[in-house]
Amino acid sequence: MLNRLALSIADAKTMAAAARAEAEKNNWTVVIAIVDDGGHLMYLERADDTQKASSVVAVEKARTAIMFKRPSAAFEQAVAGGRVAVMSLPGTTTVEGGLPIVVDGQYVGAIGVSGVLSSQDGIVAKAGLDALTA
């Protein structure tokens, strides 16, 4: 029998609230996206005055994190280190801000944030992830 964990909408909202609080604390306007273990959008929130393109970018950062089971920052670092070939991998968004959600060793989803500098997006995403895994 399979014992598979799943991310709930309540989990997604808990994460988004913590991420939003971090963004607001820093006066950053961002989009927060939560996807399930298949990369399907569960929750999206766009702060007022956030650039509209961030709605797509946040989802793609989250999808990168869950599909490759690693932070999207890993791809940004690879490109910065000269491995530009990773940019040709299907489904990669090569900027920080996407983090996989791992519970009891199982990948259950991911959070993606976009709207400010990618390093700041990463801070906001981590705040959301920490709210669930704390």
Is residue 1 assigned to a domain? Answer: no
Is residue 3 assigned to a domain? Answer: no
Is residue 96 assigned to a domain? Answer: yes
Q: What is the domain-level CATH number for residue 76?
A: 3.30.450.150
pTM for the structure as a whole: 0.95
The number of domains in the chain is 1
Is residue 110 assigned to a domain? Answer: yes
Strands (E) across the chain are located at 31-36, 41-46, 98-103, 106-114
Range of the domain at 93: 9-133
pLDDT, one tens digit per residue, over 32-73 is 999 999 999 999 999 999 999 999 999 999 999 999 999 999
pLDDT, one tens digit per residue, over 108-124 is 999 999 999 999 999 99
Q: How far apart are CA 115 and CA 32, in angstroms?
A: 9
- Tell me if 128 sits within 8 A of 101, measured CB to CB: no
Longest dimension (CA), the chain: 48
